[in-house]
Chains A and B, each alone.
Chain A
C-alpha cells in the first residue's frame, strides 16, 4: 500500500497553526496554536460547531490560505499553495458548468499531464464507483443536487496520485436520505482505494459513521478539544448499540468542553 513506506511519519502535520482574519468589527481568531498529526490512510473527521476554525484549517492544508502563524507540513514539506497532490471537495459542488460530467472528473488528471485515454479510463472508473457512469456526457445543470455532489467527490477521487483527500462538509446541504447514500458511496470508495481523508463536519452521526478518528475543535479561538479513536468495524451499522454508544461518547466529550452538541447538528 502507498502509505507503507511512510508508516509512522505523518502525512499532514500542523505545528502551532494560528490564524486570524478580518471580521466585520475586528480580528477573528479562527485557530490558536493548533497541533495535529495525521497518519497515512487515516480517515479523520474534524468535528465542531461553526466558528471553531475547522474549514479554515482545511483551507490551509489545501494551500488556499496561509496561516498567520505556525506551519502545516505535507509529507514533511511546508504547504506552498494548492496542488494535485491533494484532492478537495467543497461544501458546494463547485463543478465547472461548461464541462460535461466526465470532463469535470478528467480536469485534474489532464492538468496533471495524464494521457487522454488513461484519463478517460480513470474518470470512467471513478464515475462508475459513485454510480454516475451513465450520466458521463451530461452537463452539471442536468443533474440533481445529490448527483452534483457525487461528481464533485469523483473529481477529487480521480486524482490517483493524491494520497490526501480534503472534504469540507461536502454533504451538509443534502437531505438526510441522500446524505446517507453519499456517505455509503464514500466509505465504499475509501475501502476500495485507501488514502488519507480529512473530513470536516458539524454532524456527530456523520463523524461517527465515517471516521477512524474524530478530532473535536472548540470555537473562539479554534482549539483542540478532544481526539477520539473510533474502533467500530466497517461497514458500520447506524442502528447498532455500539454506534449509539460512540455517538454518546462524542456528545459527552463535547459537553465536557462546554460545547452544545445540539447546536453542532
Chain B
C-alpha cells in the first residue's frame, strides 16, 4: 500500500505523513516497540524538566532571600533524605529509625484504607442500586461528609485514646467518602440494558450483585480507590501529628519543634514517595487487571 495516512490523526505520535509506506515503516512489531520507547523517553524527559524547573526556582529563592534555615537548598534536602534512608543522619532526634516510622505509618494507613474499601464499596453499590438504601442512608452520608477529617481527631482520641486505633479511625472516616461517592455514581450509571441482559440471562439477587453490578462498576471503583488512598496518606500524617508517638507524622511534628527544616522536608518527601509507591502497587495493579484489560487499549 502506498500513501498510508496517519492512523491516529492529530497526534504527535502518528506516522509522518507523505513518505509513509509499509516498506519505509518496516516491520510492524519493531515499529510499535520503537514507538513505545520514543513515547516513554519523551515522557521521562518532559517530566524531569518539570521537576528540575521547580528545584531551580527553589534553589534561587533559598539563595536570594538567604533563608536556608527555613528553606534549605534542594541539594541539602536531597542529601538529608539519602542520609536518613541510609540511617546516617547524624542528628537523629526522632526515636526509632526512619523505617520503623514508615512501617507504622504504612500499616495504619493500610488498615484504615482497607476497612474503608471493605465498607465503602458494598455500601456505594447498594446506594447506587437500591432506592430504599439510597433514601434511608444518603441523607446521613451527605450530612457527615462535610465534617473535615481533622475534626474527627479530637473525638477519636476521646474514644480510643492516644494510639493506633485513633489514627486508623480518622484515616477510615476520611477515605470512606470518596469511595462511597464514586462507587455510588458508578453503580447508578450502569447501562440499564446491560442490567436487563443480566436479569434475562439468569442472574438475580447476590449473583446479579457480584457477577454484573460489581464488575460493571469497577472502572469507577478504581478511581475511588485512587482518590481514597491519596486521602488516606494525607490523613495519616494529620492523625499522627496529634495522636501518635511514632510514624512519619510524629516525625514531622518533632522536626518542627526542633526547628529542623531539612528533616521536615525529608519526611514530606518520604510521604510522597511511599504514597506514590503504594498507589502504583495497589491501584495500578488492580487497574491493569481490570479496566485496562476490558476496555482501554494499552499504549
Residues of A within 8 A of B (CB): 62-64, 81-84, 86-88, 90-92, 94-98, 107-108, 111-112, 139, 141, 155, 159
Contact = CB atoms under 8 A, between A and B. Distances in A.
Contacts of B297: 141
Nearest to B196: A64
Of the four ranges (under 10, 10 to 19, 20 to 34, 35 or more), the interface on chain B belongs to 20 to 34
Contacts of A155: 201
7 contacts: A64-B196, A83-B200, A94-B196, A96-B198, A96-B216, A107-B202, A108-B201
A82 B200 contact: yes
Q: Of B197, B198, B202, B203, which is in contact with the most chain A CB atoms at under 10 Å from its CB?
A: B197
Given A97-B295, A141-B295, A88 B202 contact: no
A96 B215 contact: yes
Contacts of A95: 194, 197
Contacts of B9: none
Nearest to A158: B201
Nearest to A62: B200
Interface of B: 191, 193-194, 196-203, 207, 212, 215-216, 218, 290, 293-295, 297
A64 B200 contact: yes
B197 A88 contact: yes
Nearest to B202: A111
Contact of B201 (A97, A107, A139): A107
B212 A96 contact: yes
A83 B196 CA distance: 11
B202 A83 contact: yes
A108 B202 contact: yes
Contacts of A86: 200
Contacts of A88: 196-197, 200-201
B196 A96 contact: no
Contact of A139 (B194, B196, B216, B295): B295
A144 to B, nearest CB: 14
Contacts, number: 65
Nearest to A64: B196
Contacts of A107: 201-203
A82 B218 contact: no
A141 B294 contact: yes
Contact of A90 (B197, B215, B293, B294): B197
A88 B293 CA distance: 27
Given A86-B200, A108-B201, A139-B294, A98 B215 contact: yes
B203 A94 contact: no
A84 B295 CA distance: 28
Contact of A111 (B201, B216, B218): B201
A265 B294 CA distance: 35
A90 B290 CA distance: 25
A90 B193 contact: yes
B197 A111 contact: no
A90 B295 contact: no
Given A94-B193, A97-B295, A141-B294, 15 more contacts: A82-B196, A82-B200, A87-B200, A90-B197, A92-B191, A92-B193, A94-B197, A96-B194, A96-B216, A98-B215, A98-B294, A111-B201, A141-B295, A141-B297, A155-B201
A257 B290 CA distance: 53
Q: Of B200, B202, B207, B216, which is in contact with the most chain A CB atoms at under 10 Å from its CB?
A: B200
A110 to B, nearest CB: 8
A81 B205 CA distance: 13
Contacts of B198: 96
Contacts of B218: 98
A8 B143 CA distance: 62
A64 B192 CA distance: 11
B215 A64 contact: no
A82 B215 CA distance: 21
B191 A94 contact: yes
A98 B193 CA distance: 15
Leading 6 A-B pairs by shortest Cβ distance? A111-B202, A108-B201, A98-B215, A94-B193, A94-B197, A82-B200
A139 B290 CA distance: 11
Q: Of B201, B212, B215, B216, which is in contact with the most chain A CB atoms at under 10 Å from its CB?
A: B201
A98 B216 contact: yes
A97 B294 contact: yes
